[in-house]
């Protein structure tokens, strides 16, 4: 092997400074907002699939900053990126990076007929393995399923005053949810709904806190994510999970995917593209579906139905995330004023 390397260098003298192996593509740097316990085994499996020819250097999110910390780091490094690939679990911030021109357009290796709202219009990101926005109900306090809430809008119903809960809509999936509703209902109608929810529901710090309040019996029901709701159900606590807004005149249940995006001018763009294709394959979605968070595959080629799904089929909300992200900073400031502690 050493003789082969020496011969190659002698035949190509301009490569003396580069060496026999192009180290620039031997590693890929990933900024990952998904919890390390879920992402690490998948990234490790990718390394093994390359026989460790490509290594993964991962920087994970921390709970105190949520996804915003990684997004701000990508923005700060825009002139000299350190990150090659961004694995995000809050799509709206991925779309923000898209609109700033910080993501690389590419062709995604997904099957024909993949949902259009799960791929960026310019190819800069691809969605996979979603969480759904669901209602979690305490079955000791609401014993008859006919009495369960059926719509997110019921958070504003005086019938449930101080008996339902929602996370403060300033961060995470709750912020994304109401940005999406603003796009479909209009700004004024959404602000009006949020004011009514603020005055009617118990407002908590996060989705996990909502799920805990319901499972402990402090609140009859609340709006949360499937990954937080399934933890309470798996623990044997008295809860049911409702996929809301399924009636014909209702918008359907919102699902919020993980997203994968290659950073523009990534130092290791080839390796990043290889990892991107690996992550959006159905087998990766199946691994996340089988895990504790019971994430929802997007691909129709997925073979593992997550246990969080109901027996009946779910009608999903149709979403244009790029439109929903318009005016994000102004919208966030407005909500901060509305839900100031």
How far is 32 from 218, CA to CA, in rounded Å? 34
Q: Residue 232 to residues 57, 96, 237, 257: CA-CA distances in angstroms?
A: 33, 32, 6, 21
Q: Do 202 and 334 fall within a single domain?
A: yes
Q: Please indicate, yes or no, whether residues 23 and 159 belong to a single structural domain of this protein.
A: no
Q: Is 2 inside any structural domain? A: no
pLDDT score of 171? 86
Shared-domain flag, residues 177 and 263 = no
Predicted confidence (pLDDT) per residue in 156-195, tens digit: 999 999 999 999 999 889 999 999 999 999 999 999 999 9
**Token pair listed for 41:** 């085994």
pLDDT of residue 25: 64
What's the mean per-residue pLDDT of the chain?
91
Q: What pLDDT is stored for residue 65 in this prediction? A: 56
pLDDT at 61 over 90: no
Q: Record the pTM.
A: 0.89
Same domain, 232 and 334: yes
Measured CA to CA, the distance from residue 40 to residue 102 in angstroms comes to 25
Residue 181 belongs to what domain range? 131-254+329-338
* Total tally of structural domains belonging to the chain: 2
Closest CA to 255 of 226, 229, 233, 232: 226
What's the pLDDT tens digit per position in 256-312? 999 999 999 999 999 999 999 999 999 999 999 999 999 999 999 999 999 999 999
Domain shared by 170 and 242, yes or no: yes
Residue 13 lies in a domain: no
Give the mean pLDDT of 116-123. Answer: 96
CATH of the domain at 115: 3.40.190.10
pLDDT at 1: 39
The answer to whether position 315 is within a domain reads no
Q: Is the pLDDT of residue 11 over 50?
A: no
pLDDT of residue 67: 74
CB–CB of 125/103 below 8 Å? Answer: yes
pLDDT over 80 (residue 321): yes
Does the pLDDT at position 24 exceed 50? no
């Amino acid at each position: 092997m050493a003789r082969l390397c020496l011969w190659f260098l002698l035949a190509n003298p301009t490569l003396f400074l580069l060496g026999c192996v192009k180290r620039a593509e031997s590693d890929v740097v990933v900024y990952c907002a998904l919890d390390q316990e879920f992402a690490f085994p998948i990234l490790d499996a990718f390394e093994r699939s390359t026989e460790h020819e490509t290594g993964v250097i991962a920087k994970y999110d921390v709970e105190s900053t949520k996804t915003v910390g990684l997004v701000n780091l990508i923005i700060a490094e825009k002139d000299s990126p350190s990150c090659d690939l961004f694995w995000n679990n809050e799509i709206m911030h991925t779309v923000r990076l898209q609109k700033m021109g910080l993501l690389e357009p590419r062709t995604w290796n997904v099957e024909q007929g993949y949902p259009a709202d799960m791929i960026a219009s310019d190819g800069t990101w691809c969605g996979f393995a979603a969480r759904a926005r669901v209602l979690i109900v305490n079955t000791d306090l609401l014993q008859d399923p006919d009495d369960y809430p059926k719509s997110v809008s019921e958070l504003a119903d005086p019938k449930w005053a101080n008996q339902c809960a929602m996370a403060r809509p300033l961060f995470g999936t709750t912020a994304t949810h109401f940005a999406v509703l603003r796009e479909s209902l209009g700004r004024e109608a959404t602000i009006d709904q949020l004011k009514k929810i603020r005055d009617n529901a118990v407002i908590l710090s996060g989705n996990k806190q909502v799920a805990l309040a319901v499972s402990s019996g402090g609140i009859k029901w609340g709006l949360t994510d499937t990954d937080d709701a399934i933890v309470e159900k798996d623990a044997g606590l008295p809860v049911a999970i409702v996929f809301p807004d399924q009636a014909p005149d209702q918008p359907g249940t919102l699902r919020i995917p993980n997203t994968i995006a290659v950073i523009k001018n990534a130092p290791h763009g080839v390796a990043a593209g290889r990892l991107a294709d690996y992550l959006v394959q159905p087998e990766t979605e199946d691994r996340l579906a089988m895990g504790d968070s019971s994430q929802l595959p997007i691909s129709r080629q997925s073979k593992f139905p997550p246990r969080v799904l109901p027996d009946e089929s779910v009608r999903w909300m149709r979403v244009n995330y790029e439109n929903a992200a318009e005016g994000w900073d102004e919208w966030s400031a407005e909500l901060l004023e509305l839900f100031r502690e």
